[in-house]
Amino acid sequence: MTQGAMNAATELHALVVDDEPLARARMSALLSDCKEPLVIRAAQAASAAQALEMLHKQRFDVLLLDIHMPGMDGLQLARTLRNMERPPVVVFVTAHVEHALQAFELEALDYLTKPVRLERLQQALQKVARAVQVRDGASGLYQSQEALVIQDRGRTERVLLQDVQFCKAELKYITVRTAQRSYILDSSLNELEERYGDVFLRIHRNALIARRLVRALEKYHDAEEGDGWAVRLQGVDEPLAVSRRQLSAVRALIGR
């Protein structure tokens, strides 16, 4: 990645949309405290109508959007933005957690609950930076913001496919591993493989890996299965066992 691409991804233009002046002021103050990614402009709008007017005049990378507002609410504004040629990334900021699933159905990248903590805002903005980088073609790897919607300990989170390193079947659930943490997903590997086969590769009956992270195939000894093969992924310390049935697919991917 070039330094220019990195700068484009880590310097964000934000628009805070909230009908409460104190809420807008507090969010703007939090944005000014964020260092990576750096928010170099944080404008404010007191309504969805004002936000639309500003969006037609200026370019913003992210919308920090309240849901409950007089007139057009945040969910309605998010639907309207989908018709834009280059819409900003949407992060909902609200005290009403019951709208989380509906928000993610509108392809919101994240969902923050008030009062917002700086650490949580920073995490959301890091997601935004990666999504903007992808949208603008800086990474050259993905041209979409497809994501897994995960229910985790009382909150709903959108995990971008580009952030997933591998998925492993654990009893009735799937462990989804990213560089930052692991998530539990109520789904099946077959469903993920069928839907995202261009992103993930099956290497075992219990594992899918991110195609883009494959770095090496090596001899491996498993306590239960004996001698075999394992794949090494960029950014992942542990080797992941490859079944004999999937060995040729992994070799073909490495050989490209």
pLDDT at 255: 75
**Domain CATH number, residue 171:** 2.40.50.1020
Same domain, 106 and 173: no
Distances (CA, A) of 65 to 32, 113, 154: 17, 11, 21
Domain range for residue 172?
164-254
pLDDT at 41: 81
Least confident range of 4-8, 166-170, 186-190, 219-223: 4-8
Q: How far apart are CA 15 and CA 78, in angstroms?
A: 13
The pLDDT confidence band at residue 10, using thresholds 50, 70 and 90, is low
pLDDT at 256: 66
User: 3-class SS at 97?
Assistant: helix
Residue 136 has pLDDT above 90, yes or no: no
Strands 173-178 and 182-185: antiparallel
Same domain, 104 and 175: no
Residue 27 has pLDDT above 70, yes or no: yes
Is residue 89 situated within a structural domain? yes
Q: What is the pLDDT of residues 103-132, one digit of tens each?
A: 666 667 888 888 999 999 999 998 898 888
Same domain, 8 and 93: yes
pLDDT at 84: 82
Top-confidence residue, 17 or 84: 17
Same domain, 128 and 196: no
Same domain, 124 and 220: no
Q: For residues 247-252, give the mean pLDDT.
A: 90
Mean pLDDT of the chain: 84
Which residues does 247 contact at the CB level (< 8 Å), separation at least 6? 229
Number of domains in the chain: 2
Does the pTM exceed 0.75?
no
Residue 230 has pLDDT above 90, yes or no: yes
pLDDT at 9: 43
Q: For residues 169-173, give the mean pLDDT.
A: 85
